[in-house]
Amino acid sequence: MAYRYIVERETGEILFDLFHDLITQNLKALKRIAKRLNAVLRWKREMIMNQKKKYHKCIICGDYTDTDLEFEDGTFICESCAQSQCDLADY
């Protein structure tokens, strides 16, 4: 990558141009945003894992439920699916 340099007349100091400084600042800002985003995603994954531990997954609709409707094989069903299964059995 090629850089353009600016020389300060009074001191003779070589400076990067303004464009390079803006890119560097933007990269730093993007890294900060990515760190925050990763922290939020980690937090959401932890929340989902905690929910999976507390709730049981319905074998019919796939939703997580906190009901105690358990089959003999250890699987669970939510109340709405159980109600629809009962309604179908009535016909």
Q: What is the DSSP string of 2-56?
A: ---EEE-TTT--EEE-HHHHHHHHHHHHHHHHHHHHHHHHHHHHHHHHHHHHHSE
What are the residues facing 12 on neighbouring strands?
A: none
Q: Amino acid letter at 26?
A: N
pLDDT score of 4: 63
Asked if residue 68 and residue 48 are part of one domain, the reply reads no
Where in the sequence is the domain holding 28, given as residue range(s)? 1-54
Range with the poorest average pLDDT among 5-9, 22-26, 33-37, 80-84: 5-9
The per-residue pLDDT for range 52-76, each reduced to its tens digit, is 556 778 888 888 777 767 777 878 8
Q: How much is the pTM?
A: 0.36
The per-residue pLDDT for range 11-55, each reduced to its tens digit, is 777 666 666 667 778 888 888 888 888 888 888 888 877 765 567
pLDDT band, residue 1 (cuts 50/70/90): very low
Asked if residue 2 and residue 45 are part of one domain, the reply reads yes
Cα(1)–Cα(17) distance, rounded to whole angstroms? 14
Asked if residue 64 and residue 33 are part of one domain, the reply reads no
